[in-house]
Amino acid sequence: MGPRVKPGVTAQIFPSPRASSCETRGPIFSVPEETTTKMQRETRRLILLLLPAGIFFSAFFLIPMAELFLIGGTGKEGWAAYASIITNRNYFNSLLATLGVAVLTTIVTLIISGISGVFLQRHKFPGNGTLVAMLTFPLAFPGVVIGFMVIMLAGRQGLIGTVSEALTGDKIVFAYSLAGLFMGYVYFSIPRTILTVMAAAEKLDPKLEEAARSLGASPFRVVVDVIIPGLKPAFISAGAICFATAVGAFGTAFTLAAKINVLPMVIYTEFTLSANIAMAAALSFVLGAVTWIVLALARTAAGGTVAAAG
């Protein structure tokens, strides 16, 4: 599945529309020669059908985005606002924190989902379906709810705190920090990544593993030399989605604490508390560009195979 569809969930559930093509199939019977007027009428009809979506999209996305870009340059710093994400120490630090959490989330999610996804795809045992259903249940939780789940686990009244207090006398609470945010993003990303990995693992040829094993490869070598390369396109596309989500998401951080210094929170603070709309516009435009570029790059890197893996 191409990484164009991001957090919003079912990138993995639906196979890519472009995956199967019917271009190669010719018509079953010959079609009467179409006259030019007929073709023109057809084209005009298609344009007309595209018009509602086109008008809506231009009016509410393309024009507002252009406006956002222009407003980003109207602050007291002018167009330099766009560079401030690098030049301003605070913004730069929060950029680093954001990217750090996102990279860590991506790596950890891929490892967890890789192990469990391949395992569940390979071994069909009683209860397998239940496990898959449980692992994909949180698929549609919004970021706010994920934040609350982290609080239930690692918050002031959370499970981890209660258990650790009973065991060691020390109450471990980390929900309201970057660690809590990291946990939330992993929670958020596991369901969709497992779906992608399972879909890709289904298409792996078990004969390749058999061959490797019969040639004397250890289970570790089989994983490194056969399974991981086979899953690479799925890893790239799912990883890009994890990364983009962790960079741009807002709800989880919002629920956990205003003190978490990641870029979406900084933008929100600039907009509401400081009423610095120009800076908020510039920063959010940069943030949007970064996530979009990451997804586009991943799509190029993974090539057409991503679609087939989906």
Work out how close the CB of 71 gets to other proteins at its nearest, in angstroms, rounded to a whole number: 5
Looking at the Cβ atoms of 28 and 215, the one nearer to other proteins is 28
Work out how close the CB of 47 gets to other proteins at its nearest, in angstroms, rounded to a whole number: 8
Among 76, 89, 123, 124, binds other proteins (CB under 8 A): 123
Looking at the Cβ atoms of 104 and 112, the one nearer to other proteins is 112
Among 39, 44, 46, 93, binds other proteins (CB under 8 A): 46
Residues 96-129 as b or e (16 or more Cβ within 10 Å = b) = ebbbebbeebbebbbebbbebbbebbeeeeeeee
Kindly report each contact of residues 200-203 with a partner whose C-beta sits within 8 Å and lies 24 or more positions away, as own/partner. 200/230, 200/231, 200/233, 200/234, 200/309, 200/310, 201/117, 201/118, 201/121, 201/122, 201/227, 201/231, 202/121, 203/308, 203/309
How far is it, in rounded angstroms, from Cα 217 to Cα 208? Answer: 11
**Contact region with other proteins (CB under 8 A), list: 51-59, 75-83, 164-172, 229-237:** 51-59
Residue 32 corresponds to which tokens in the numbers above?
């009467």
Cβ neighbours of 54 (radius 10 Å): 12
How far is it, in rounded angstroms, from Cα 179 to Cα 172? Answer: 12
Q: Between 261 and 290, how does the x/- string for binding to other proteins read (CB under 8 A)?
A: ---x--xx--x-----x--xx--xx-xx--
Is the Cβ–Cβ distance between 254 and 176 less than 8 Å? no
Q: What is the dihedral of CA 99, 111, 116, 306, to 10 degrees?
A: 70
Site for other proteins in 62-91 (CB under 8 A): 62-65, 67-68, 71
45 counts as binding other proteins under rule CB under 8 A: yes
3-class DSSP state of 161: helix
153 counts as binding other proteins under rule CB under 8 A: yes
What residue type is 126 in one-letter code? P
Looking at the Cβ atoms of 83 and 115, the one nearer to other proteins is 115
145 counts as binding other proteins under rule CB under 8 A: yes
Looking at the Cβ atoms of 46 and 96, the one nearer to other proteins is 46
**Contact region with other proteins (CB under 8 A), list: 84-92, 148-156, 163-171, 229-237:** 148-156
Work out how close the CB of 309 gets to other proteins at its nearest, in angstroms, rounded to a whole number: 15
**Contact region with other proteins (CB under 8 A), list: 84-92, 100-108, 149-157, 230-238:** 149-157
Burial class (CB in 10 A: 0-12, 13-18, 19+), 144: middle
Work out how close the CB of 231 gets to other proteins at its nearest, in angstroms, rounded to a whole number: 15
21 counts as binding other proteins under rule CB under 8 A: yes
177 counts as binding other proteins under rule CB under 8 A: no
* Residue whose C-alpha is closest to residue 234's, from 135, 121, 124: 121
Site for other proteins in 213-252 (CB under 8 A): 219, 244, 247-251
Work out how close the CB of 306 gets to other proteins at its nearest, in angstroms, rounded to a whole number: 14
Work out how close the CB of 82 gets to other proteins at its nearest, in angstroms, rounded to a whole number: 14
| Binding-residue total with other proteins (CB under 8 A) | 96
Looking at the Cβ atoms of 71 and 99, the one nearer to other proteins is 71
